[in-house]
Amino acid sequence: MSQYVPPALKRRFPKVADLAPLMQFKTPRFGTEARVQAANTIWDLRDIAKRRTPAAPFDYTDGAAEAEITLRRAREAFLDLEFRPGILRNVAAVDLSTEILGATSSMPFGIAPTGFTRMMQSEGEYAGSRAARDAGIPYTLSTMGTASLEDVAAAAPDGRNWFQLYLWTDRDRSMALIERAARAGNDTLMVTVDTPVGGARLRDVRNGMTIPPSLTLKTVLDASYRPAWWFDFLTREPLSFASLSRYSGTVAQLIDSMFDPTLSFEDLAWLRETWKGKLVVKGLQTVDDAKRVVDYGADGIVLSNHGGRQLDRAPIPLHLLPDVAAALKGKTDIILDTGIMSGGDIIAAMALGADFTLVGRAYLYGLMAGGRAGVDRTIEILRGEMTRTMKLLGANKISDLNPDHVRLLGTQ
C-alpha cells in the first residue's frame, strides 16, 4: 500500500525565481548610528554604553547607594506587575500625547535632571535637550549639569526646558540662579528635597570617582579600552557646571559642601513666592509629605527616591503611587521616576495614576552608547514600546488608561 506524499513535501531542485526573494543581502553598516539602531531595548543600549564608557562614569550612572537594594526593588516593582488587556477594541490609531503642567507633551515622559552629564558622553545636555525638543517632550537641566542654563536655551530655544534646583545655604546665590532660569525661558522649576546629605554611593568610592575624572594608573588602563571616550573628553571644553564653580573632589563631598541640611517647609513657601512659573517638588516618598507640599503651593510632585542613590531601602515610587493618586489626583500633577527601563513601565505608571514620568538612567545609557543618536534611539524605543503596549491593552489614548489595566502582584 503506497503512502501518499503531499506535493509540498516532494524533493525538487530549487528554481532561481524561488531563491531570489530569499537573497536579500544588506549593505553592512558601521559606526555609532548603526550600532545604536541595532539596539532593540534600553538594556541593549546599556550593554553598548558599558563597553564604550570608562568604569567610573558608567558606574556613577548605573549604581546606587550602599547595597543598591532600593534600585533593585524599584526594578522588581515594574517586573512584578500584571497587565490586564481589553480585547476587541479598535486600536488602529494610538495617541501618546498628554497634558503636563499646563502644556502638551507628545509622550507621557520627559528627560530627568542628571548631574555631570558631559562626563558620561561629551555631547551631554546638548544632545538631551535637542533630542527632547525634536521629540516634543520636556527636558530638565540639573543644577549639577555640565552645561549652563543659557547654553541649553541657545541649543534648544524652541524646546520645553525645565530647571532642577538644589536650594543652597546661600539664598542669594539660589535667587540669582532662579532669576537666570526665568530669563532663559524655563517654564518649570523642579526643586529636589531628598538630599540633605549625599548618599553612600559605594561604587563611586571604590572607583575613586572625582569631578573631573582623575588620570590615575587605574583610569589610564581603563581608558586604553575606550579611546573614543577619552578623545572626546580631552579634546572638548573641560567640564563646568550650570551653577557651580569648578570643583575637585568626590560627588558626596560636593553635595555635603553645597546643600542645606536645615531646609524646611518654610523654605518651600519662600520658593513659591519667589518663582512665578510652575513649581514642582521632587523627592516625595510618603503620602503625608506629598499632601503637605501641595498645601504649600506645589503645582506638581515627583514621587522619587533619587533613583536609589540616596537612602537605601527607601519607599518604591511605583508602590507609593496608588495611595498618592487616591489622595491627590486632580489636585496636583503627579510625576513618577526611578526604575523605568521600558515603555511598558511608563504605561503601567500612567495606568496606576501618574500624570507623567521622567527617565534618567535610560536616557544616559543611550547617551553613553551613541551621543545624540543614542538619545534619539532611547526615545524611539520607548515610543515603540508604549504604542505596542497601548494597543495590546486596548487603549487609544493616555486618558483611557486606569488602574483596571494593571495589577501589582502580591498587593491586590
**Where in the sequence numbering do the catalytic residues fall?**
306
Phi, psi of 188 (to 5 degrees): -135, 135
Phi, psi of 110 (to 5 degrees): -130, 175
HEC sequence for 1-63: CCCCCCHHHCCCCCCHHHHHHHCCCCCCCCCHHHHHHCCCCHHHHHHHHHHHCCHHHHHHHHC
**Could you tell me if 380 and 90 are in contact, meaning their C-beta atoms sit under 8 angstroms apart?**
no
The number of helices, as runs of H, and strands, as runs of E, in the chain is 18, 12
**Could you tell me if 183 and 157 are in contact, meaning their C-beta atoms sit under 8 angstroms apart?**
no
Q: Within a 10 A sphere around the Cβ of 93, how many other Cβ atoms?
A: 8
Closest CA to 373 of 54, 28, 32: 32
Tell me the three cell numbers of residue 403. 488602574
Closest CA to 335 of 318, 358, 351, 315: 358
Beta bridge partners of residue 95, listed in sequence order:
397
Instruction: Please give the Cα distance from 60 to 47 (Å, whole number).
Output: 15
